[in-house]
Amino acid sequence: MVITICIGSSCHLKGSREVVKKLEELVAEYGLEGQVELNGSFCMEHCVEGVCVRADDRFFSLKPETTEEFFCKEILRRDV
């Protein structure tokens, strides 16, 4: 599956780079390389409080500190 992280300026200032880094570490930690692909994106026009992240067809609003919770709840629990 593909996780798309917005790299627009607004999300950048909210920490998109940290979110990418966290996700990268988590993907490595759970040995999901080759199954989970991280991808960037222009502004997805879903600007909310956090960094805009898309997994399959759903949008999420993440902060660097909520990234692990998102990963465990939304990524690990599904058949990737």
Interacting residues with other proteins (CB under 8 A): 4-5, 7-10, 12-13, 17, 20, 23-24, 38-46
Nearer to other proteins, 1 or 40 (CB): 40
Q: Which residues pair with 59 in a beta bridge?
A: 54
What is the closest distance, in whole angstroms, from the C-beta atom of residue 72 to other proteins in the complex? 19
Contact 27, 36 (CB under 8 A): yes
Minimum distance of other proteins from residue 75's CB (angstroms): 14
**9 CA to centre of own chain:** 16
